[in-house]
Homo-oligomer: A and B are copies of this chain.
């Protein structure tokens, strides 16, 4: 199966590493024989129809920041993702460029072009889904291709699959989730160590949990994306991020946290879909399974008649998220067989 990687950041590199280092296991257990025929990053693109030498590509990226070490026959500086999506034959396109939440670009264009070319798409980029998920689902359907995005919610934790594959026969009345590990780390640290927001954020940045510009995390936008994706996929809504009432954690004070604690609760950034959709700081009872610490993510599906079902796991991480991309690929492979 021929794959193309659009974007070559942490998740895509982890995924490429996995494809290369576990190839015997993938063939034996899943009948998967992946061949990565093209990789595009922000500087250029590498193309090799016989399969790119992945260990060498990873080494080049690590040492030079680009894929230039692969040599001029394979790597072309300035060659764009859009070009290779049009030009290079493959079965699956993995879109893993950074999430951009205003226009969803350039990911949205990549996903659309890939589908129009008849390629199955695995999207790890939240932008296109937060903005145009219903249209993309329809485009995939129209072009007869599969569209998977397990890695956009919960990192390696199978949030979307749990709801879709394991709750048949139940109705899901509402979703309530702690969907951003950075915010949860900050709020946990404020509550357990009594440090102010500013200090907790600086600490999160130092540890690599938060980016230099933390707006998407602390502003609640990343949580809102994941809420939209989960709700559309699981509850059949047709939302975009613009339909979510969003309030981040930037105004949370030590007083808010202390008074929540006095009521037997923890203050968390919670995304809710039930009557309407919103992301906001909310008190969660200390004894509720949703009350998870540190960088954990957690999501509670309120189901009928199985009751509240909560899934907890790491919400991020390169190898973890790459395992979601692999699950998507296994699903696509299964469908090939039918």
Contact = CB atoms under 8 A, between A and B. Distances in A.
Interface string A160-172: 0110011111100
A322 interface: yes
Q: How many chain copies?
A: 2
Nearest to A317: B307
B168 A162 contact: no
Contact of A306 (B298, B323, B330): B323
A312 B310 contact: yes
A189 B229 CA distance: 39
A101 interface: no
Interface in A285-314: 287, 289, 292-294, 296, 298, 303, 305-314
Contact of A323 (B158, B170, B287, B323): B170
B156 A166 contact: no
Contact of A158 (B167, B294, B310, B317): B167
Interface in A312-334: 312-314, 317, 319-320, 322-324, 326-327, 330
Contacts of A296: 289
A305 B292 contact: no
Contacts of A18: 305
Contacts of A142: none
Interface residues of A, number: 41
B156 A161 contact: no
Q: Which of the listed residues A166, A296, A311 has the most CB atoms from chain B within 10 Å of its own CB?
A: A166
A297 to B, nearest CB: 10
23 contacts: A18-B305, A30-B169, A157-B307, A157-B309, A158-B162, A158-B309, A161-B166, A162-B162, A166-B327, A168-B327, A169-B326, A289-B289, A289-B292, A289-B298, A303-B323, A305-B319, A305-B323, A306-B314, A306-B320, A308-B313, A309-B311, A309-B312, A310-B312
Interface of A: 18, 30, 155-158, 161-162, 165-170, 287, 289, 292-294, 296, 298, 303, 305-314, 317, 319-320, 322-324, 326-327, 330
